[in-house]
Structure 1
Amino acid sequence: MRLLAFGDSFVLGQGDPDHLGWIGRAVRARPEVTLYNLGIRGETSVEVARRWRAEAAPRLRAGESGILFSFGANDCQLEGGAPRVPTAETLLAARQALTEARQLAPILMVGPPPMPDPGVAARLETLNEHLKTLGGRIQAPFIDVFRPLFADGLWNREAEMLDGAHPGAGGYQRMADLVAAHPAWRAFLDGG
């Protein structure tokens, strides 16, 4: 299977000393998966929605591919006193990307992880709920990692020690374990 993973620095695995991030760890035991990690640090949902199709085209193989999206943290960062991307625009970008991608391959949306900053965390929690609701409405599988990672605390502890946003190997492993244990992940990797 070819797994195309689109998103931000959390998909990329920024801060991971092993350069695997959560996605690399989640597929480590699946040698049949070819991972195309297409995360870009600092990108918002709108930027991911704008670029994913062009980057997916040369990598997709009919019947052999899956497309994963995970974004939202950068949308919730403040810029000029307001979130970089309003929630309505994030949801529109997510709907567009998921709806279009589903026509090409099985899809999966992994929600955003938490952040130590309380204001960003509150906005992320709200956005996570909206993305989960959107997934249900358009029948796009969604994995919620925000709540368990926030409750566990390891993600935020590591992020606070590093750059205030990105965890180290432990946080990424915890997220990989959550994703890999989810039935939607197993169905996604097995072709829908």
Structure 2
Amino acid sequence: MVSDLRVCFIGESFVAGVGDRKCLGWAGRLAARAVAAGQPLTYYNLGIRRENSTELRARWEAECTPRLPAGADCRLVISTGVNDSRYENGRPRVDPGDSVDNLAAILRRARENGWTTMVVAPPPNVDEDHNDRLLDLDARFTALCDSAGVLYLRAHQPLRDNRIWMREVAAVDGYHPDAPGYDEFAALLAPHWLLWLIDPDSGLAMVR
């Protein structure tokens, strides 16, 4: 009997796949890889462009609850932080400490609801000052997920070193790639994603 596996992807524009002419983003590509590998699932993309983690914290549970019913194998994939660390009016939109608190609150509620969770690092862009702030947030998120026993995929630096990702980001708007960039993002995450779907307790191996 095929299990009722349901996965909600929550976060910002990269989750939604902004810039991708195939309209898949990395989340849609991961879902397609799972089905191709023989793992059927119901996939919900709940990404919102320009959303920060404070806004995500306020809305995510109400949107996920009807999609993750009791009796199903319920999973949650989170990616946030790029909008938090963008400067507006001379300061980040969300203080880094508040970003960590927001993610911690989401992880706590997901655990209370019995939803298995994975977190994906915020990806890089063409603004190196912004990337440095993202690296700081990446380290904070790593520590949080380690303490919470949640799989955290450290995709930021590998993508920063990825020629295709950075080329695509520069060609679109400085932040979002077209399809080849999202192909690279998904390929980086895919081995860990597929293992997590099969055995969520398989360990906390991270993309480094």
Q: TM-score, normalised by structure 2?
A: 0.88
In structure 2, the CA distance between the partners of 1:14 and 1:43, relative to structure 1 (3 Å rule), is same
Matched positions, count: 190
CA-based RMSD: 1.2
Q: How does 1:3-14 map to 2 (within 5 A)?
A: 3-14=7-18
* Structure 1 counterpart of 2:59: 51
Does 1:127 pair with 2:127? no
* Structure 1 counterpart of 2:154: 144
- The alpha carbon displacement at 1:69 in A equals 0.6
- The alpha carbon displacement at 1:187 in A equals 4.0
Task: Give the distance between the partners of 2:73 and 2:145, measured in 1 at CA.
Answer: 23
- SS of corresponding position for 1:57: helix
Does 1:179 pair with 2:189? yes
Give, as a single letter, the amino acid of the residue that structure 2 aligns with 1:19.
Answer: C
Match of 1:26 among 25, 30, 50: 30
Runs of 4+ in 1 over 6 A off after TM superposition: none
Match of 2:93 among 78, 84, 88: 84
Give, as a single letter, the amino acid of the residue that structure 2 aligns with 1:112.
Answer: P
Structure 1 unmatched ranges of 5 or more? none
Q: How does 1:54-133 map to 2 (within 5 A)?
A: 54-62=62-70, 63-104=72-113, 105-133=115-143
Q: Any idea what the Cα deviations from partners look like across 1:32-65, whole Å, max 9, x if unmatched?
A: 1211000000001111111111001110123421
Task: Give the distance between the partners of 1:151 and 1:136, measured in 2 at CA.
Answer: 24
- The alpha carbon displacement at 1:122 in A equals 0.8
Q: Any idea what the Cα deviations from partners look like across 1:142-181, whole Å, max 9, x if unmatched?
A: 0011011001132221111111110111111111011112
Task: Give the distance between the partners of 2:69 and 2:198, measured in 1 at CA.
Answer: 15
Q: Percent identity?
A: 37
Report if the CA contact (8 A) 2:34-2:194 is conserved.
Answer: no
- The alpha carbon displacement at 1:89 in A equals 0.3
* Structure 2 counterpart of 1:157: 167
Larger Rg: 2
